[in-house]
Structures are given as structure tokens and as C-alpha cells.
């Protein structure tokens, strides 16, 4: 087995990097997740060698056997995180160890080989420093990072695969200073997202495939997202397809459903809970009944509702659409606390505010590294 310390990333860098102007046009013009940076990282695993063949290479197609287990039994997991342009010109990562832990938990749930936290971090750092120029040099410049892992063993045998590929790709996120308008949310009363004992608390591709009919239904009725209820009773609020939810009541309490195995433990959720508590908010993790929530909203007792996740950061919820019609939350706009929590989190991520929780780790980019080498050589 290759030991982790001796695992070196071999680098095959792109021969003619894209020019500044073309890159800027791509970053500005792409929708989320449509444009990718010039490199990707891949690492392989098998039983004999463990994790090996770490490679930084030009972004491009993978060659896989059509019998690769991922295509048949769905052993696939992923993560979502961002690199942020920092106020001092550097690049920040946010709570990487959380994503690494969650990635390993997802692997365990799907009986896949676990990527050690140290390897996860190194792979992410290799990609970000190779493609640092893609983190826009702008106060809100960010690069979305997508670590993923698939079963590559060519076999139709239904058992945990004996070979895996761990990869990281990156997609620049369009800089957008203004907060997005509040969402219209469809309450899903037919499809559920997760069951106790299932995979709702890990990030595996199958969860999202299964949520797509509900998303399609939401789009048909002019909604942006779906709010899923618990599978057993269809009575309690769980989360959106890719974001956790919070409800703010007029008595000042900020509520979110507890993590009982069917809700994805969001890094943003955890961070928002701490920031809200720091502000002296009364934070309550408790089951939220959908009927009670709609009643309270109709009676004007819900002042704000928001969803949060890495991609959208924090986004207001303006209305809920269910079997019994529509309820508007607060005045239908983005609430005060929602806007403030969003701004505070962004300020920490971009290094504009002291990192009092120790959430940030800096990354050296290839350009500054090149100049270090030159300095030493000179
Ligand atoms: C990824 C995800 C979230 C948000 O998690 P973050 O770590 O905050 O990005 C919430 N719910 C689901 C279902 C998710 O897949």
C-alpha cells in the first residue's frame, strides 16, 4: 500500500492556458455548474495499493468500462464546497475538514473506500492552487469545488466494488453582489426525499435523482424549490432538495429541524446556527410541523424563513405553496436577520471580518508559489 505521506500528485498541466479576457468572459457568462476550470485532480484506489496515482491533469473525459459498478448499482458520492477570494488577495477555504468528514461518512454509508481527511484536503488544495486564476479577483469571487467518488471496478456482481476513483473538479461561480430574490417553495406531499435508516444524511447521487420529479413539478407551478416532509407521517418539515431550512418567529426564536438521520448535516446550517447564537438569537432545534408552520405564517407569527447551503449561501423564502393554497412569509421579501446572517457569513468567508471560529484556512496559489521559487532562485 502506498502510504499517504509518499503519495505525490503528479502534474500534467495544460499546455496553453486560457487568456485572462476569455476566462473572464466564461466566468461572467456561465450559469451555475456549466463552466469548468482547466484542470482536475484524480486519485485511484484498489485493495492492493490503497490510494495511489494522484494526478493533476487537464480537465477532460474519464475512460471507464461500461461495466464500471457506478453505472449499475450507484456507488457514487460527492461534496460541495467553495474557495473564496480573500480581502488580502489570497484564497480562503471554509471548514474543509467538515466536508472531508462528511465525504468519509458518505463513503461508509455506501460501503466505499474512505478518502482520508488529509488526502481530501491535499487534493482540493492541489486543484485550487493549480486553477487559482479562476477564483475571480473580485471581492465576491468564488470557485465552487466538487469532490466526487465513483466505483470503477468493471463488474456486475452486486457487492461493494474493489476499485474507486476520487476526483475533484471546479466551476467558477458568477459573481453576484445582490442577494437573489426570495424563493417560492412547493411543499411536496407525494414524493419524499429520505427515510430513517436510508441515505438522506449523506451526499450520494441517488438522493438527488430521486428528488427530480418533485423539482420538475415545482417548476411547472412556478416554484423555485421543493420542501420535503418526513417520510413516515408527512407531517414535519425536513429540508429542500439541497438546502437546510430555518424559520424565524415573532417571539425571536430561530428554529431548524434537528438532525435525526434524514436531513443532510449542512456545513452552512451549522455555521448559521453559530452565527445566530453569537447574535444572541434563541436558537431552537425542534421538529417543525408543516400545519403549525402554515398557520403561524397566516397569523403573522412567522417573520422570516430562509434556506442555506454552500451554493446559494443563505436565501430567503417568500412563500409556501401547498394543498391548501399559498402562504406568504413575513412581507414576502428577504428578512432582516436572513440578510444579516448571509452578509456576515460571506464576510467571514472572504476574510473581511475576523475569523473568530477558526473556520478559514488560506491557500497559496500557483502564481504566488512561482514567485516564491523565483525569489529563492534569485
Ligand atoms: C449539500 C446539501 C445541503 C447543504 O449543505 P452545505 O454543507 O451547507 O452545502 C443541504 N441539504 C442537502 C440535501 C444537501 O445535499
Q: Is the CB of 143 under 6 A from ligand 1?
A: no
The pLDDT tens digits for 269-312 are 999 999 999 999 999 999 999 999 999 999 999 999 999 999 99
How many residues in total does the chain contain?
Answer: 378
SS3 of 320-373:
EEECCEEEECCCCCCCHHHHHHHHHHHHHHCCCCCCCCCCEEEECCHHHHHHHH
Query: Parallel, antiparallel, or unpaired: how do β-strands 50-58 and 10-11 relate?
Result: parallel
pLDDT of 365: 55
Which of these, 363, 373, 366, lies nearest to 124 by C-alpha position?
363
Phi, psi (deg, nearest 5) at residue 7: -75, 110
Closest residue by CA, ligand 1 atom 12: 242
Question: Ligand 1: which residue has its CA nearest to atom 15?
Answer: 242
**Is the CB of 200 inside a 6 Å radius of any atom of ligand 1?**
no
Q: What is the pLDDT of residue 368?
A: 46
Query: What confidence score (pLDDT) does residue 196 get?
Result: 95
Task: To the nearest 10°, report the CA torsion of 335, 339, 340, 345.
Answer: 140
42, 130 contact by CB (below 8 A): no
Residue nearest to atom 10 of ligand 1 (CA): 243
Q: Cα of 98 to ligand 1 centre, how many Å?
A: 12
The four Cα atoms 278, 356, 365, 29 give a dihedral, to 10 degrees, of: 20
Q: Is the CB of 242 under 6 A from ligand 1?
A: yes
pLDDT digits (tens, 9 = 90+) for 78-96: 999 999 999 999 999 999 9
Tally Cβ neighbours within 10 Å of residue 241: 20
Q: Is the CB of 203 under 6 A from ligand 1?
A: yes
Establish whether residue 271 lines the binding site of ligand 1, counting it when its CB lies within 6 angstroms of any ligand atom. Answer: no
Q: What is the CATH number of domain 4-177?
A: 3.30.470.10
> What's the fold here for domain 183-349?
D-amino Acid Aminotransferase; Chain A, domain 2 (3.20.10)
Report residues of the chain scoring pLDDT below 70: 1-3, 5, 174-178, 364-378
**What ligand 1 atom has the least distance to the C-alpha of 193?**
13
What is the maximum span of the chain, computed from C-alpha positions, in angstroms? 73
Our CA angle for 96, 99, 100, nearest 5°, is 85
Distance from the CA of 47 to the center of ligand 1, in angstroms? 31
The residues spanned by each domain of the chain are: 4-177, 183-349
Q: Which atom of ligand 1 is nearest to the CA of 270?
A: 8
Q: Determine the distance separating the centroid of ligand 1 and the alpha carbon of 7, expressed in angstroms.
A: 30
Amino acid at each position: 500500500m502506498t502510504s499517504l505521506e509518499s503519495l505525490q500528485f503528479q502534474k500534467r498541466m495544460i499546455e496553453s492556458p486560457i487568456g485572462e479576457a476569455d476566462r473572464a468572459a466564461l466566468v461572467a457568462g456561465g450559469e451555475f455548474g456549466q463552466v469548468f476550470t482547466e484542470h482536475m485532480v484524480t486519485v485511484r484506489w484498489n485493495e492492493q495499493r490503497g490510494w495511489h496515482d494522484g494526478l493533476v491533469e487537464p480537465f477532460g473525459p474519464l475512460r471507464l468500462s461500461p461495466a464500471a459498478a457506478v453505472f449499475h448499482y450507484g456507488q457514487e458520492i460527492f461534496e460541495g464546497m467553495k474557495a473564496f477570494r480573500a480581502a488580502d488577495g489570497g484564497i480562503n477555504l471554509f471548514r474543509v475538514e467538515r466536508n472531508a468528514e462528511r465525504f468519509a461518512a458518505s463513503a461508509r454509508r455506501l460501503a466505499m473506500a474512505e478518502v482520508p481527511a488529509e488526502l481530501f484536503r491535499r487534493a482540493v488544495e492541489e486543484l485550487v492552487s493549480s486553477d487559482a486564476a479562476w477564483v475571480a479577483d473580485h471581492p465576491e469571487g468564488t470557485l465552487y469545488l466538487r469532490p466526487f467518488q465513483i466505483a470503477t471496478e468493471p463488474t456486475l456482481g452486486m457487492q461493494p466494488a474493489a476499485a474507486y476513483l476520487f476526483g475533484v473538479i471546479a466551476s467558477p461561480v458568477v459573481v453576484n453582489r445582490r442577494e437573489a430574490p426570495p424563493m417560492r417553495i412547493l411543499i411536496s406531499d407525494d414524493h419524499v426525499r429520505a427515510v430513517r435508516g436510508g441515505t438522506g444524511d449523506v451526499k450520494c447521487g441517488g438522493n438527488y435523482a430521486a428528488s427530480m420529479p418533485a423539482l420538475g413539478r415545482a417548476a411547472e407551478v412556478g416554484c423555485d424549490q421543493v420542501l420535503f416532509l418526513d417520510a413516515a407521517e408527512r407531517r414535519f418539515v425536513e429540508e429542500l432538495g439541497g438546502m437546510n431550512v430555518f424559520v424565524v418567529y415573532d417571539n425571536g426564536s430561530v428554529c431548524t429541524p434537528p438532525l435525526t438521520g434524514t436531513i443532510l448535516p449542512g456545513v452552512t446550517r451549522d455555521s448559521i446556527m453559530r452565527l445566530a447564537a453569537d447574535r444572541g438569537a434563541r436558537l431552537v432545534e425542534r421538529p417543525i410541523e408543516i400545519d403549525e408552520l402554515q398557520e403561524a405564517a397566516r397569523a403573522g407569527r412567522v417573520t422570516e424563513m430562509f434556506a442555506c447551503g454552500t451554493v446559494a449561501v443563505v436565501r430567503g423564502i417568500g412563500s409556501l405553496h401547498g394543498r391548501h393554497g399559498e402562504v406568504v412569509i413575513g412581507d414576502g421579501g428577504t428578512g432582516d436577520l436572513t440578510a444579516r446572517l448571509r452578509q456576515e457569513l460571506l464576510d467571514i468567508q472572504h476574510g473581511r471580518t475576523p475569523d473568530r471560529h477558526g473556520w478559514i484556512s488560506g491557500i497559496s496559489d500557483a502564481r504566488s508559489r512561482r514567485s516564491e521559487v523565483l525569489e529563492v532562485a534569485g
